[in-house]
Amino acid sequence: MKRWGDLSQETADHLGAGSVLDHAEMAVVVTDRFSNLLYWNPFAEQLFGRPGKSPAREASVLSLGIMDKDHPQAVELAKHVLKGGVWEGTFDVRRGDGTIVYVRAQAVPLRHPSGSVTGIVILAREALRSNEREKDRFGLLERIGERLAGSLYVEETLKRVAEMLVPQFADHCFIELMEGDRLVRRVSEHVQGWTPPAGTWKPVGAEIRYPSGHYADTALRRQETILVEDFSTTSYPMPHEGSARLASEIGMTSAIVAPLLVRGETLGLMYLGLSNLTDRRSPHYDAFDRDFVGAIATRVALAIDNALLFEEERHTAESFQKHLLPRALPQLDGLDIAVRYYPAAPLASHGQGIQTQVGGDWYDVIPLSAGRVGIVIGDVEGRGAKAAAIMGQLRAALRAFAQDDKSPADILARLDEWTRIIATPEQDDNGADVSIPPIVTCQYLVYDAWSRQLSFANAGHAPPLLVVDGQCLEMDIEEVGQPLGVRAKGLHADLVYKEETRTLPPGAALLLYTDGLVDRRPGRDGQMPSEEETLGVLCEKLAKMADADVERIADAATVAVPGEIDDDMAILVVRSSDVDLDVEERTFPAQPIMVGEARRMASEAFSGWNVPEERAELACLLVSEVVTNVVLHASTANSPRRELVVEGPPLPFEDSWDMPGFEEEPVGDKEFTLRLRRGEESVWVEVFDQDLRLPRIRSAGENDEGGRGLYLVDQLAKRWGSRPTREGKAVWFEIPTRSR
């Protein structure tokens, strides 16, 4: 008889290291010093969801499915163990079938007989599926809290909850949230490859009503976690016959229902169930599981509450900003327009909570005189409600300034002054004003669709992109002024902002944007592309869209640059018409007899354009009134302004008075120009003369022969106005060609 512990040869052959590891219900993974896989046992294949796969040569331990957010933790593990230490912790692992499990791991050094560390041995098991559940509990709760803490949206939070619990802890997971006095199902998650048949369990979006006496109803009323340890020994009323039939078919064995409570308010219910659809070591929950699910529900409720509060705050901020932007764009002749606005994704602000990322980006399209249009793109520095509020004030001010029909440079100069006025008042200890104006970049353009002339001025903003003939290039801007609010004291704004003029090719598209389009957050590698690189990518993709409509160009620009935007983003795309618009123009001597000639010209033009007779007669009447007003005041008008050009070297002071052109003031015949334009729904009439005085409506006396012309224009035209020009002024009015 052999002594106790003596083994037969046959038994000894089965106690080799490989045989023992093949039968161990513990994952064993061995790597070299560079974390390349050398060995794993069969249980590791099962745990990590890669059955039948041998570790590929030089495959990294990360190929086991460790999720991206835990990669830094895996790196720290390797560093610590290779120094001779022992590491223990929890990983999130995405298995081969897409499910997520929590893996509790211990790592120890693999030593050579000489004592040097040659690799790492990792022992792993599924958390909460062993006799060490108490030890795993706190670590797993911490992991769950970390995952939920990174969720800012309700749907994303609910999805993460379902991924954490199925199939790791349950075969079935339902989450129902209160919407008013209704309980609505928001999540219905089940083990991989199985879905409840129609007419059985309620789908997502359905209202849920648990009958009185149902364990879920009890959990909701008592506001406590309810455990059903074994359905075979208990009986509860079911919501409906189809639900009871399905529960019997799949063999429901156990369930836990936990209310989602936060700040004394019930947000809903979380339901977890086990069934015979999976083969588990224990098909029943116990009191430990109930307490653990209750702790999870507390964290889930906090995450859902935070997500609800954040979505409400974000919705309020976005609504606030969107109401500050144009609600609808006007229909304009000879110009197609598309706009986009996107707030940046949420971003933690290092101790200041979560920023909603709304900001001060804005765009605007402003109808001006005679079919011309003002186009604006701007960006207020900073983020949040303050930047949006400043943007709203600037947009309103610019719209008001634009109605004066001054040049773009003049408009920006006035807006710069306004930017200083709205600065938050601040004073130093001595009472001196130290207010700091907001910094704003802005570009204001005026486009005339009939001449395709584009006039603009720039205040530190990125140049527009010109898309035409299969090319996309930055529009050349000679004078880029300082951003609004940063002009040095003593430097007049007229010296900072300069007007430039371009002519757009027929059918050309112009893309105006804020820097959120090209500024992106760093990728996972920590690298952030330069502005030149992102602009190159943008232009390359837009060039391929040169013939597309403005909506498709705007959509393409939005997604052209890869990566998550780091700032809010505004995009405005305009395209000039490739068809010439109807226009008639003629210059007349400022003589009374020319009033009839001007009226005849207008009548013939309106007839050729098929303007309805009633509308044409009204327009001709107002042409007579405006032209008569010009002719009557021509005799008292200022002489035309002339540009003095001096050639050669400067003259001595005493000789300069003898220069040609100073002998006498030239007196020439006064003239006026009549310009007629046809649009889709209106005709515009403009009368130009050399008088610098802008007309105004005045009250005519009972016996006065004149003074009623502009009153008639004001009453009968849809819109009218006057604007200064380089030579004098222009009086204009608009007449709809369709009945009001």
Mean pLDDT of all residues in 80-92: 84
Residue 625's Cα: distance from chain center in Å?
51
In this predicted structure, the answer to whether residue 92 has a pLDDT above a threshold of 90 is no
Contact 101, 191 (CB under 8 A): no
Q: What pLDDT score does 388 carry?
A: 81
Give 34-41's long-range contacts (Cβ < 8 A, gap of 24+): 35/60, 35/61, 35/62, 35/74, 35/78, 35/120, 36/60, 36/61, 37/61, 37/63, 37/64, 38/119
Mean pLDDT of all residues in 436-459: 92
Instruction: Quick: pLDDT tens for 141-173.
Output: 777 777 777 677 788 888 888 887 888 788 999
How far apart CA 721 and CA 710 sit, in angstroms, is 10
In this predicted structure, the answer to whether residue 620 has a pLDDT above a threshold of 90 is yes
Nearest CA-CA partner of 280 in 401, 187, 184, 168: 168
Q: Tokens in use for 317?
A: 């901020």
How far apart CA 262 and CA 178 sit, in angstroms, is 13
In this predicted structure, the answer to whether residue 661 has a pLDDT above a threshold of 60 is no
In this predicted structure, the answer to whether residue 100 has a pLDDT above a threshold of 90 is no
In this predicted structure, the answer to whether residue 663 has a pLDDT above a threshold of 50 is no
DSSP secondary structure string, 218-239? HHHHHTS-EEE--GGG-----S
In this predicted structure, the answer to whether residue 353 has a pLDDT above a threshold of 50 is no
Question: 610 or 707: which carries more pLDDT confidence?
Answer: 610
Mean pLDDT of all residues in 89-95: 80
The residue type of 375 is I
pLDDT band at 352 (very low <50, low <70, confident <90, very high): very low
Pairing of strands 87-94, 37-40: unpaired
pLDDT band at 433 (very low <50, low <70, confident <90, very high): low
Question: 632 or 433: which carries more pLDDT confidence?
Answer: 632
Give the contacts of 677 (CB within 8 A, at least 6 positions apart).
Answer: 370, 371, 450, 581, 582, 583, 683, 684, 685, 686
Beta bridge partners of 105: 89, 124
Question: 9 or 358: which carries more pLDDT confidence?
Answer: 358
In this predicted structure, the answer to whether residue 460 has a pLDDT above a threshold of 80 is yes
Instruction: Quick: pLDDT tens for 689-700.
Output: 988 888 877 665
Q: Tokens in use for 285?
A: 């929950």
pLDDT band at 348 (very low <50, low <70, confident <90, very high): very low
Judge residue 353's burial from the number of C-beta atoms within 10 Å of its C-beta, 0-12 exposed, 13-18 middle, 19 or more buried: exposed
The top-scoring range by mean pLDDT among 205-214, 306-315, 356-365, 704-713 is 205-214
Mean pLDDT of all residues in 255-261: 94
Pairing of strands 172-179, 265-274: antiparallel
How far apart CA 453 and CA 499 sit, in angstroms, is 13
Q: What angle do CA 117, 121, 127 make, to 5 degrees?
A: 145
How many helices and strands (H and E) does the chain possess?
Answer: 17, 28
| DSSP code of residue 698 | -
Q: What pLDDT score does 427 carry?
A: 63
Judge residue 442's burial from the number of C-beta atoms within 10 Å of its C-beta, 0-12 exposed, 13-18 middle, 19 or more buried: buried
Q: What pLDDT score does 616 carry?
A: 93
pLDDT band at 635 (very low <50, low <70, confident <90, very high): low
**Choice among 69-78, 270-279, 432-441 with the minimum mean pLDDT:** 432-441
pLDDT band at 174 (very low <50, low <70, confident <90, very high): very high
Question: 506 or 434: which carries more pLDDT confidence?
Answer: 506
Share of the chain above pLDDT 90, in %: 32
In this predicted structure, the answer to whether residue 509 has a pLDDT above a threshold of 70 is yes
Q: What pLDDT score does 664 carry?
A: 45
**Choice among 74-88, 288-302, 306-320, 504-518 with the minimum mean pLDDT:** 306-320
Share of the chain above pLDDT 70, in %: 81
How far apart CA 665 and CA 638 sit, in angstroms, is 11
Q: What pLDDT score does 678 carry?
A: 94
How far apart CA 724 and CA 707 sit, in angstroms, is 22
Contact 716, 724 (CB under 8 A): no
Judge residue 55's burial from the number of C-beta atoms within 10 Å of its C-beta, 0-12 exposed, 13-18 middle, 19 or more buried: buried
Q: What pLDDT score does 149 carry?
A: 72
Q: Which helix (H) or strand (E) holds 730?
A: strand 729-736
In this predicted structure, the answer to whether residue 203 has a pLDDT above a threshold of 80 is yes
First-to-last C-alpha distance (Å) of the chain: 117
How far apart CA 211 and CA 235 sit, in angstroms, is 13
Look up the pTM and report it: 0.64
Longest distance between any two alpha carbons in the chain, whole Å: 145
